[in-house]
Amino acid sequence: MADKKQARLTQEVQPENRFVQFYRETAAELRKVVWPTRDEAVRLTIIVVAVVIAMSIFLGAIDYALTQIMRIILVR
């Protein structure tokens, strides 16, 4: 009985069967997903946009400061 199971596991999957298997497994995984509500999605999107803006300002300030420091050093 173990030989039959091992033989079945070692059989190659046909290329067209791989696509079908991939599609079925993907659909099964998507059914397991707990999708956020609209309010959660909006709230999280706002948080992401706010963090991106804050980091842009922070990195821009650091870039500006380092540029000014390099300008002072190179002018001498």
Secondary structure of residue 14 in the 3-state scheme: coil
What pLDDT score does 18 carry?
84
The one-digit pLDDT tens for each residue of the chain (76 residues) are 555 555 555 555 566 788 888 999 999 999 999 999 999 999 999 999 999 999 999 999 999 999 999 999 998 7
pLDDT in the model for residue 17: 84
CA distance 62 to 68: 10
What pLDDT was estimated at residue 15? 63
Cβ(13)–Cβ(21) under 8 Å? Answer: yes
Say which residues have a Cβ less than 8 Å from residue 22's Cβ, sequence separation at least 6. Answer: none
Instruction: Show me where the domains of the chain are located.
Output: 2-75
Residue 67 has a pLDDT of 97
